[in-house]
Amino acid sequence: MTNNSFPYRLYLVISEEACAGKNFLSVAEEAIKGGVDIIQLREKNASNEEFLDKALRLKEVISRYNVPLIINDNLFVAKQVEAFGIHVGNNDVNPTEIRKTWTACKSLGYSIEYLEQLYNEQTYTADYLGISPVFKTDTKTDTVTAWGLDGIRQIRSITQKPLVAIGNVSAINTRDIIEAGADCVAVVSAICAAENPQKAALVLRKEIEKASVRASSHH
């Protein structure tokens, strides 16, 4: 089932750092050619100016392919660059606040780190939910627990919102993640650190399609 409000299946979270010396703009472009259909820019340590500059350059590249830009955590940059949306976690500016101050936001993502969050106002306000992390990962050190596939199933049984799974996602577990109920998989290093980002994206995309075929044949 594709969720009409959130039709994306392969979500790239990119930062200059994650690209390990490669040009992040070319990594993004290669990834799109391989099948990435939505991109989030995450720059944890950049100043607002640096972040904005990167966001503008990235938006210019990806909008040629009609790929939406999501900004991680930074409402100032998201508004300035007229991004498609923003993604926030527990300790960031909350979704209800964003709705009030940025009415043009087309997609608001919120990370779910524990089950109680599914019942709060922030979750109701968000357009899609990040399941973070699905599996243990080095990129996120401050998280509580890894959800695992059972966690995805559990969240899926509680909410109708589109679910984006992130955290050590690879070609090996993508199919299981989609079959457990995620609508979309998000990757960082699986593409950013790959020798060939386009090929890496293509492989992930194929796994997503396989899972979707299986899922639709069950209904």
* pLDDT for residue 97: 96
Which residues of the chain form beta strands (DSSP E)? 10-14, 38-41, 69-72, 85-88, 107-112, 128-131, 163-166, 184-187
Cis peptide before 133 (omega within 30 of 0): yes
Sign of CA dihedral 135, 136, 141, 147: positive
* pLDDT for residue 120: 93
Mean pLDDT, consecutive 10-residue stretches, the chain (219 aa), reads: 77 96 97 98 96 98 98 98 96 94 97 94 96 81 80 97 96 97 97 97 97 73
Q: Which residues contact 177 (CB under 8 A, 6 or more apart)?
A: 134, 149, 152, 165, 169, 185, 211
Cut 0.85: pTM above it: yes
Q: Which of 21-42 are b and which e, b meaning 16 or more Cβ less than 10 Å from the residue's Cβ? A: ebebbebbbbbbebbbbbbbbb
Q: What is the Cα–Cα distance from 148 to 191, expressed in whole angstroms?
A: 21
* pLDDT for residue 37: 98
* pLDDT for residue 172: 96
* pLDDT for residue 2: 45
* pLDDT for residue 213: 81
* pLDDT for residue 5: 81
